[in-house]
């Protein structure tokens, strides 16, 4: 089976690291425009973001991808740290001892013209934050509501724990053959999150606002929209290799909820350290002790706990390899 490493030009260091680690296995890199359809597996660096970027391209081959990340092994889509990749390459090549999961993609047509893909969600908002928009939501040509609010999010099950969840949407477990629709900050209290079969044709039309409106794909790509956005299930789903069973359909979706719980239940010292790292950027243990005025032991215990739970990362300092540098995930 031919295996390649994707190089989309956005994470050159990650690609370089992967190529070095896998040079003895004869694995080469490909660019997004250059993926032949007979490739058996594509290694995609850049963590979950990299995978979402890859699958927003409608023309990728059906080959499954293996996501790798740098120090962020707790992703929903990418399970492996690039350091571990060497340990798994034999399984990819020979034993094929892994699962391939199918993740539905959302086809998004803006103003009846261009077609785009989203793996998580496609929202409609005013370009300027906290600005009202008006729109009409229809499902299978039936008007569901005409609303005014901050916007609306259509999400896949994968995306249900992302932006959609923050705005009050339900957690949709993987394998649910549905899409979620969540009105954001509606002026009307009767507007509810909706779940529809993934075979539905969803339309947000008659979009109006004082200023320009945008369609936002996976929280990253912003496209101008004048009148309407149409949503449906894209013909080919994303195929993702899962080397480990630690993130099954259930636990992957619940993980975020558990993380939020953890944060709520953490001791004040852990919360303080997390806030310091958030506001002041990455720091060593020494710096943290100095800045938080906490006992060294408290900081040490808190860091261990935060690392375990995946809230923070640890890397070796470039200046001093005995020093560990901590940063938030």
Binding site residues, a copy of itself, CB under 8 A: 139-140, 142, 144-145, 157, 160, 165, 169-173, 175-178, 180, 188-197, 199-200, 248-251, 254, 257, 260-261, 264
Which residue, among 315, 243, 306, has the nearest Cα to 77 in the 3D structure? 243
Give me the torsion for CA of 134, 57, 103, 42, rounded to 10°: -160
- Residue (149 or 169) nearer to a copy of itself, CB: 169
- Residue (146 or 224) nearer to a copy of itself, CB: 146
CB of 279 to a copy of itself, least distance (A): 24
What are the beta bridge partners of residue 124? 152, 215
- Residue (123 or 276) nearer to a copy of itself, CB: 123
- Residue (97 or 251) nearer to a copy of itself, CB: 251
CB of 146 to a copy of itself, least distance (A): 11
Tokens 């009307």, located at residue = 188
| Buried residues in 79-96 as b, exposed as e (16+ CB within 10 A) | bbbbeebeebbeebbeee
Long-range (24+ apart) CB contacts under 8 A made by 158-161 are 158/76, 158/77, 158/103, 158/104, 158/119, 158/120, 159/106, 159/118, 159/119, 159/120, 159/121, 159/218, 160/253, 161/76, 161/253, 161/256, 161/257
CB of 73 to a copy of itself, least distance (A): 20
For residue 177, give Cα distances in angstroms to 8, 161, 180: 31, 16, 10
- Residue (192 or 226) nearer to a copy of itself, CB: 192
Q: Over the Cα atoms of the chain, what is R_g?
A: 22
- Residue (21 or 242) nearer to a copy of itself, CB: 242
SS3 for 229-247 is EEEEECCCCEEEEECCHHH
CB of 134 to a copy of itself, least distance (A): 16
CB of 153 to a copy of itself, least distance (A): 13
CB of 247 to a copy of itself, least distance (A): 11
CB of 186 to a copy of itself, least distance (A): 11
- Residue (87 or 257) nearer to a copy of itself, CB: 257
Rounded CA-CA distance 262/275 in Å is: 15
Rounded CA-CA distance 81/9 in Å is: 19
CB of 260 to a copy of itself, least distance (A): 5
- Residue (27 or 240) nearer to a copy of itself, CB: 240
Crossing angle of helices 268-280 and 285-292, in 10° steps, is 110
């Amino acid at each position: 089976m031919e295996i390649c490493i994707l190089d989309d030009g956005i994470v050159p260091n990650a690609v370089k690291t992967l190529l070095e680690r896998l040079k003895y296995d004869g694995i080469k890199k490909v660019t997004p425009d250059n993926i032949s359809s007979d490739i058996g597996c594509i290694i995609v660096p850049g963590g979950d973001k990299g995978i979402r970027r890859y699958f927003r391209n409608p023309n990728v081959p059906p080959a499954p991808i293996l996501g790798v990340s740098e120090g962020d092994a707790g992703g929903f889509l990418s399970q492996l740290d690039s350091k571990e990749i060497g340990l798994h390459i034999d399984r990819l090549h020979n034993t094929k001892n892994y699962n391939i999961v199918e993740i539905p993609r959302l086809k998004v047509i803006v103003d009846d013209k261009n077609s785009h893909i989203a793996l998580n969600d496609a929202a409609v908002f005013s370009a300027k934050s906290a600005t009202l928009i008006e729109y009409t939501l229809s499902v299978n040509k039936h008007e569901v509501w005409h609303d005014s609010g901050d916007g609306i999010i259509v999400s896949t099950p994968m995306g249900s724990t992302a932006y959609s969840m923050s705005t009050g949407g339900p957690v949709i477990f993987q394998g649910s053959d549905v899409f979620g629709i969540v009105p954001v900050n509606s002026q009307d209290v009767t507007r509810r999150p909706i779940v529809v079969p993934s075979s539905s044709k969803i339309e947000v039309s008659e979009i109006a606002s004082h200023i320009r409106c945008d369609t936002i794909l996976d929280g990253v790509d912003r496209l101008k929209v004048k009148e309407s956005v149409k949503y449906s299930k894209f013909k080919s789903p994303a195929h993702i290799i899962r080397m480990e069973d630690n993130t099954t359909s259930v636990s992957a979706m619940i993980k975020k909820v558990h993380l939020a719980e953890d944060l709520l239940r953490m001791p004040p010292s852990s919360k303080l350290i997390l806030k310091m790292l958030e506001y002041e950027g990455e720091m060593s243990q020494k710096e943290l002790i100095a800045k938080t005025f906490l006992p060294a032991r408290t900081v040490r215990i808190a860091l261990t706990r935060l690392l375990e739970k995946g809230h923070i990362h640890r890397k070796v300092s470039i200046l001093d390899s005995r020093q560990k540098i901590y940063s938030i995930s």
